[in-house]
Amino acid sequence: MPSANPWPSEIRLNPAHDVLTVAFDDGTRFELPAELLRVESPSAEVRNHGGPKTIVLGKKNVTIAAVEPVGNYAVRLSFSDGHDTGLYSWAWLHQLGAEKDRIWGEYLMAAAAK
């Protein structure tokens, strides 16, 4: 039976530091580009404290500088542009992976409108 709260079984950063692979105990495996992770950061800076989400532009070449565990519920990703305040919970990473096409499409539409 699939877990209601998927737990990561593997977190791996590729050699170019531009893709984070996350596998979960429910059998799902996602390759998450650094740009997507950066522009969809769960930080207050991007999420805007409950107001309209900030559209972050110009991150096409961003890379992931570091992946640090935070307790047993998340990782902190540090990016080459200095951003390091987002805590990526297992649930958020799973949702980003499962809904990557929709989330990325919405981001591209919002970015084009800016």
| Calpha distance 36→70 (Å, rounded) | 20
Q: Is position 2 within any domain?
A: no
Q: Is position 71 within any domain?
A: yes
Summary mean pLDDT of the chain: 92
Instruction: Pick the more confident residue, 49 or 81.
Output: 81
The tens digit of pLDDT for each residue in 8-60 reads 999 999 999 999 999 999 999 999 999 999 999 998 676 666 677 889 999 99
Residue range(s) defining the domain that contains residue 48: 8-113
| Calpha distance 32→82 (Å, rounded) | 19
Domain count, the chain: 1
Question: So what's the pLDDT on residue 52?
Answer: 78
Helix, coil or strand: residue 34: helix
Q: Which of 69, 64, 96, 68 lies closest to 81, judged by CA?
A: 64
pLDDT higher than 80, residue 75: yes
